[in-house]
Structure formats: C-alpha cells, structure tokens
Amino acid sequence: METELREGETRRSWFTRRGGKANYLFAAGVVAIVGVASTWTILTALWPPAPAVCLLHFECTQCGHQFVMDGQDRPAHRIDEPWYPDCPKCKEPNTGRMMIVCPACEKYYVWSRSMKRGTRDICPHCGADFLKALEERIKREQKK
Ligand SMILES: [Zn+2]
Ligand SMILES: [Zn+2]
C-alpha cells in the first residue's frame, strides 16, 4: 500500500545536456521519460489530495481534543506524507493525528500509519483489524 512518487526526482538528474551529435536516441528517450515523470509530478501536485468536501478527523496528541479539517485545507506537500495540523484548542503546532473510521463499528480512532509506518490498525473500541474489517465490509456490500 506504499505510494512512491519519487520517480520524477530520480529521473530528473539524468536530464543533463550532452555535447555534440551523439546519443540523439538516448536523449529522446530521456526527454520522453522526464516528460512523463514531470507530468506525473505536476498532476499529483495539482490534484487535490481529497475530494472537494472531504472532512478529515484528527485527535490532538497534546490535549486529546478531536477536530475536523477540510481535506482542501491540507498544505501543498507530498501526497504520501502525513498531515499533522495544529490543534485548534490548545494551539500546539503539529499535534493533530489523523483518525480513521473502523469499518466494523464505525467509530473513529487514530490511524497508526499517521504515527508510524507499516503498523496494523486495531480498533480500540471493538478490536477489529482495519484491513480485515474493510475487506469483510466490501464483501458484505457486494453481496447486497
Ligand atoms: Zn490540543
Ligand atoms: Zn471498531
């Protein structure tokens, strides 16, 4: 589930000017790759990380206050980076941790990936494993 968008960065270093007539084909290939990669970079930068009205729930690690932010207010940084907004209650900077909805009991809890990568999410309310519960829920809804 890891999203790697580093393609544009690594390819760009290849795009160095070459003297003489040599390597036209090579240069054309590099231009094509760089073109695709930078289009991708531009697209992902312009693409809003969330739909127009997408309310994200957060919990403050400092005071435990839960608040909602519009996904559109997300600062323009890389899409695969977690967003740590400032707490509107205690005003601590970068203490907001994103919450997800448990697919089993529909209660919110802090998404462990926003704290640490590659960890499993277990619902503190009902003990359901996030991915498993999501899979089961998708299966259930498909049956309907
Ligand atoms: Zn707070
Ligand atoms: Zn649950």
Q: Which ligand places an atom closest to the C-alpha of 108?
A: 2
Q: Considering the domain boundaries, does residue 18 fall inside one?
A: yes
* pLDDT score of 42: 52
Q: Which ligand places an atom closest to the C-alpha of 61?
A: 1
* pLDDT score of 109: 92
Query: Strands across the sheet with 66-70, in order?
Result: 66-70, 55-60, 96-101, 108-110
- CA nearest neighbour of 127 among 110, 144, 102: 102
| pTM as predicted | 0.56
pLDDT tens, N- to C-terminus, the chain (144 residues): 444 444 443 333 333 344 444 455 555 555 555 555 555 555 555 554 444 457 889 999 999 999 998 877 777 766 667 788 999 999 999 999 989 889 999 999 998 765 555 678 899 999 999 889 999 988 988 887
* pLDDT score of 144: 74
Distance 1 CA to ligand 1 centre (A): 30
Distance 101 CA to ligand 1 centre (A): 20
Q: Which residues surround ligand 1, an ion (CB under 5 A)?
A: 60, 62-63, 65, 87, 89-90
Residue 127 shares a structural domain with residue 80: yes
DSSP state of 91: -
Q: Which ligand places an atom closest to the C-alpha of 93?
A: 1
Residue 66 shares a structural domain with residue 119: yes
Is residue 75 within 8 A of residue 49, CB to CB? The reply is: no
Q: Considering the domain boundaries, does residue 1 fall inside one?
A: no
Give the range of the structural domain holding residue 111, as residue numbers without chain letter.
Answer: 55-143
Residue 62 shares a structural domain with residue 23: no
